[in-house]
């Protein structure tokens, strides 16, 4: 499938002609071509001799004349030549004395869906590789890093030290986040603090595979009042069936991400196997850079680019005839796209996508999802739905409880937490399910469904704890008796014979004043920054909660 790059009008804000007087040469040339075409019309010569009603009866109908003829192509060649000589330009040559001071803030999605392996080795690892490749294309550029899932946290503020960013970037995992979910809009406040001191408009790069229900509105409100640029890099595949992947795959929400980018005045970029995607992103970051106009830098003459279509049009004079109507057939065939492999249960029309295309003309994505949901095709419904809640329902009915929990974790309401708890319970994550039910009761006291389900799941946890306490097997045998998942479904199954060691807490002042402690602490952070980041994120969340409670 051919993917067209979106047209960016922002880079042509300073479009002008270096030699505009050459455009005046088009006037006499086009006038001569018009007079020539009128004099060569045989019907026009007879209109002054024969009466119109007789002339019409004497003419043989020949249909509508095609616009594609020698005269029209000649006019096009003349226009191209005139515009090329006028010297169109919209950018200046790079100056060796100017510094790239435009800031880039990377907002990286580290929610649970980024652990999926449809993109090898995983979506998160590939996202980190792309961020690393992008920074290699911008040596010396100022980059800041934000990670988010249910909460958003600053990993490192704007810096031009790529080694420091790469060190922390490699240590990022989904398990270090204090809350589950997918709320990219929460990263905007942190990005604003990073970009507020930037002297020129910066760029926010969102690397993700999906959105929350309020993400689009949050991004629209933010970028509507700011000159910063939004770039979105989608990570993942759109369909498990086409790739032969596991049915539990949560597909890439490409349509939602593209809509987010367009509505916020940004650009969506699909993932590529090579570095074409990061090169496109780097080009757009550079085009968005605003530098004070320097009269000593010459403008790039883009008129030379018009020589290529100019030469191609001249090649038409080396062939006989002007009938090129077969091009319409080629365009129609190419628009159909590449057919998929026909399965035993598919018709030829479905294989070419005619049914989906016909439905897309009349139904919204959510209406299409509802159609497949009522039809019982829950997997297709989950792909079609744009609404996060209905997508979670489709996954839930398809018994894909991991994907359903991922969808419901993005809805911060009593209904969202209740559905999340049900999905976790069916997925046998009992402890997490009880916590979600408790969250429902905090938001809506007396919720009968949450109370009933919580008591039922708590009874299961107590039973598993009782079984684990009665086991006298050797360490490691418990998981063989109950299964790996069952050993993690209760809160007491892994608590036997655990002795908590006394840990000495040191303040920041003590670490900084003691040279040996400072050196030891820095060595541990540099060796494994993941633990440092995990503690940092939990402390940031606790500080936000304390400030909110005041």
Residue 330 has pLDDT above 80, yes or no: no
Helix, coil or strand: residue 385: coil
Residue 137 has pLDDT above 60, yes or no: yes
If you average pLDDT over residues 265-294, what whole number do you get? Answer: 79
Position 145 scores a pLDDT of 93
Residue 253 has pLDDT above 60, yes or no: yes
Collect all residues with Cβ–Cβ distance below 8 Å to 432 and sequence separation of at least 6.
Answer: 424
If you average pLDDT over residues 133-160, what whole number do you get? Answer: 88
- The C-alpha atoms of residue 119 and residue 129 are separated, in whole angstroms, by 12
Mean pLDDT lowest among 23-27, 58-62, 101-105, 225-229? 58-62
Take residue 13 and report the two structure tokens written for it. 């804000």
User: pLDDT confidence of 103, banded at 50, 70, 90?
Assistant: confident
Domains of the chain, each with CATH number or no CATH: 9-91+304-318 (no CATH), 103-288 (3.40.50.410), 348-468 (1.25.40.10), 508-542 (no CATH)
Check if the beta carbon of residue 416 is closer than 8 Å to that of residue 446.
no
The number of residues in the chain equals 550
Residue that has been written with the tokens 């204090």 in this structure? 178
Position 93 scores a pLDDT of 63
Residue that has been written with the tokens 């030549």 in this structure? 81
User: How does pLDDT run across 389-445, given as a tens digit for each residue?
Assistant: 999 999 999 989 989 998 999 898 999 999 999 999 888 888 899 999 999 999 988
Check if the beta carbon of residue 147 is closer than 8 Å to that of residue 186.
no
If you average pLDDT over residues 6-33, what whole number do you get? Answer: 74
If you average pLDDT over residues 124-146, what whole number do you get? Answer: 90
Position 472 scores a pLDDT of 46
Name the most confidently modeled range: 57-61, 86-90, 297-301.
86-90
User: pLDDT confidence of 361, banded at 50, 70, 90?
Assistant: confident
Take residue 105 and report the two structure tokens written for it. 């803030």
- The C-alpha atoms of residue 243 and residue 387 are separated, in whole angstroms, by 24
- The C-alpha atoms of residue 375 and residue 384 are separated, in whole angstroms, by 13
- The C-alpha atoms of residue 532 and residue 526 are separated, in whole angstroms, by 9
Average per-residue pLDDT for the chain: 75
Name the most confidently modeled range: 25-29, 173-177, 294-298.
173-177
Helix, coil or strand: residue 80: helix
If you average pLDDT over residues 260-273, what whole number do you get? Answer: 91
- The C-alpha atoms of residue 198 and residue 138 are separated, in whole angstroms, by 17
């Amino acid at each position: 499938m051919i993917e067209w790059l979106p047209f960016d009008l922002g880079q042509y804000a300073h479009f002008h002609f270096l030699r505009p007087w050459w455009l005046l040469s088009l006037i006499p040339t086009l006038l001569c071509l018009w007079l020539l075409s009128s004099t060569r019309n045989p019907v026009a010569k007879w209109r002054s001799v024969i009466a119109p009603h007789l002339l019409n009866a004497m003419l043989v109908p020949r249909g509508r004349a095609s616009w594609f003829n020698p005269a029209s192509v000649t006019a096009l060649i003349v226009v191209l030549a005139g515009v090329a000589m006028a010297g169109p330009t919209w950018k200046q040559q790079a100056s060796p004395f100017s510094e790239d001071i435009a800031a880039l803030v990377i907002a990286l999605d580290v929610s649970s869906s980024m652990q999926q392996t449809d993109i090898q080795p995983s979506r998160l690892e590939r996202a980190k590789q792309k961020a690393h490749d992008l920074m290699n294309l911008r040596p010396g550029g100022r980059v800041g890093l934000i990670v988010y899932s249910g909460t958003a946290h600053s990993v490192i503020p704007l810096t031009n030290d790529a080694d420091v960013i790469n060190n922390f970037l490699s240590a990022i995992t989904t398990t270090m986040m204090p809350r589950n979910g997918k709320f990219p809009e929460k990263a905007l406040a942190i990005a604003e603090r990073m970009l507020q001191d930037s002297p020129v408009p910066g760029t926010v790069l969102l690397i993700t595979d999906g959105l929350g229900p309020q993400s689009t509105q949050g991004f629209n409100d933010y970028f509507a009042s700011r000159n910063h640029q939004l770039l979105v890099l989608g990570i993942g595949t759109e369909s498990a069936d086409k790739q032969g992947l596991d049915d539990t795959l949560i597909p890439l929400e490409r349509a939602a991400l593209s809509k987010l980018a367009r509505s916020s005045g940004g650009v969506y970029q699909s993932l590529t196997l090579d570095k074409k995607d990061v090169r496109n992103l780097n080009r757009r970051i550079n085009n968005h850079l605003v530098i004070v106009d320097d009269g000593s830098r010459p403008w790039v003459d883009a008129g030379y680019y018009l020589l290529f279509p100019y030469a191609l049009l001249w090649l038409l004079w080396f062939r006989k005839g002007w009938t090129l109507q077969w091009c319409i057939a080629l365009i129609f065939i190419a628009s159909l796209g590449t057919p998929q492999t026909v399965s035993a249960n598919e018709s030829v029309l479905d294989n070419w996508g005619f049914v989906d295309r016909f439905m897309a003309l009349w139904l919204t994505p959510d209406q299409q999802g509802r159609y497949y949901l009522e039809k019982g095709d829950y997997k297709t419904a989950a792909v079609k739905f744009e609404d996060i809640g209905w997508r979670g329902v489709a996954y839930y009915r398809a018994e894909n409880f991991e994907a359903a929990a991922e969808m419901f974790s993005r809805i911060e309401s009593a209904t969202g937490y209740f559905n999340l708890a049900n999905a976790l319970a069916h997925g046998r994550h009992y402890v997490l399910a009880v916590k979600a039910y408790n969250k429902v009761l905090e938001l809506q006291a007396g919720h009968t469904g949450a109370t009933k389900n919580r008591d039922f799941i708590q009874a299961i946890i107590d039973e598993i704890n009782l079984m684990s306490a009665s086991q006298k097997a050797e360490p490691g045998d418990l998981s063989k008796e109950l299964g790996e998942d069952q050993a993690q479904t209760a809160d007491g199954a892994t608590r036997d014979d655990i002795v908590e060691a006394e840990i000495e807490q040191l303040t920041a002042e003590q670490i900084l004043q003691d040279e040996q402690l400072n050196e030891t602490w820095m060595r541990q952070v540099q060796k494994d920054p993941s633990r440092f980041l995990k503690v940092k994120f939990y402390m940031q969340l606790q500080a936000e909660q304390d400030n909110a409670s005041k």
